[in-house]
Amino acid sequence: MLTPNIASHSTVRRGSHPPVASQRSAARCSSCAMRHLCMPQGLTHEDMPKLEALICTARSIRRGEALYRVGDPLDNLYAVRSGSLKTVMIHRDGREQVTGLRLAGEPIGFDGLSDNVHTCTAVALEDSSVCIVPYTALKHMCRETGAMLDRLHRLMGEQLLRESSQMMVLGSLSADERVAAFLIDVSERNGQRGYSHAEFNLRMTREDMGSYLGMTLETVSRTLSRFQKRGLIGAQGKLIRIIDLEGLQHL
């Protein structure tokens, strides 16, 4: 978000994939591979040390570990540095609903801004790392640095737009259209991060995909199998190959 990760989920990249960070390590924006996605435009040379001092550590999160949980106080915002995470809300009856997928260079934690308490749980889909952004210090820097405030507003707007688009997907598209839109979205986000847009490891399970897309596990599996038979994709376990992008876009 403000610093410098799918990778969709551990994707195939043109070049090397950054290793998972140690439990706590220094986070330097100037040397991060994802800085082109995170860094505010117009940041001066004098502001860069302030930003790196603000984002003082990177934290590693193992697969299945929660970064934060429903009800936790909003102490920090985060930027995904490597790996991928899902956000989950819990229904009153205990059922989980996947509400988001956070990838390289994307912010996470905005769900706590309303009441200073997180309203969902963020879980690592693979071994991942995040940059920690203390919220109080971030607000102070935004008051001092216009570029940082502009960037924060833009990130919040982008997240609102993504969530609105997801509501449209759930409310108006068929099963084939939902799965096609999801695969295209992952493909495009991979490309923006310098990873292969045509081949990637999709760390989200079929069950998670169903929850995110408002479909049953069986419907997701049947739809992917149908796409394979039509020559639109190749799927082997978590590995997805986009064979006919135009065909998916046509759907």
pLDDT confidence tier of residue 241, bands split at 50, 70 and 90: very high
Mean pLDDT value of segment 34-59 = 65
pLDDT tens column, 77-122 = 998 988 999 999 988 888 889 999 998 888 899 999 888 999 999 9
For the chain, give the percent of residues with pLDDT over 70.
75
**CA–CA separation, 247 vs 231, rounded Å?**
9
For the chain, give the percent of residues with pLDDT over 90.
41
The pair of three-digit structure tokens given for residue 88, joined into one six-digit string = 């989950």
Predicted pLDDT at 173 = 85
Residue 166 has pLDDT above 90, yes or no: no
The domain ranges of the chain are: 11-168, 173-250
Q: Nearest CA to 105 among 213, 207, 240, 11?
A: 11
Predicted pLDDT at 211 = 93
Domain boundaries 11-168, corresponding CATH code: 2.60.120.10
- Mean pLDDT (the chain) is 80
Bigger pLDDT: 205 vs 37: 205
- Classified as helix, coil or strand, 76 is strand
Instruction: Count the alpha carbons within 13 Å of 140 in the hemisphere toward its beta carbon.
Output: 9
Q: Nearest CA to 76 among 153, 2, 160, 150?
A: 2
User: Which range is least confidently modeled, 16-25, 79-88, 157-166, 222-231?
Assistant: 16-25
Bigger pLDDT: 137 vs 43: 137
pLDDT confidence tier of residue 8, bands split at 50, 70 and 90: very low
Q: Nearest CA to 133 among 77, 80, 60, 81?
A: 77
Domain boundaries 173-250, corresponding CATH code: 1.10.10.10
Note the pTM of the prediction, 2 decimals.
0.77
Torsion of CA 143, 144, 147, 151, to 10 degrees: -40
Residue 44 has pLDDT above 70, yes or no: no
pLDDT tens column, 168-222 = 666 678 999 999 999 999 998 888 888 888 998 888 999 999 999 999 999 999 9
Mean pLDDT value of segment 11-23 = 41
Predicted pLDDT at 90 = 86
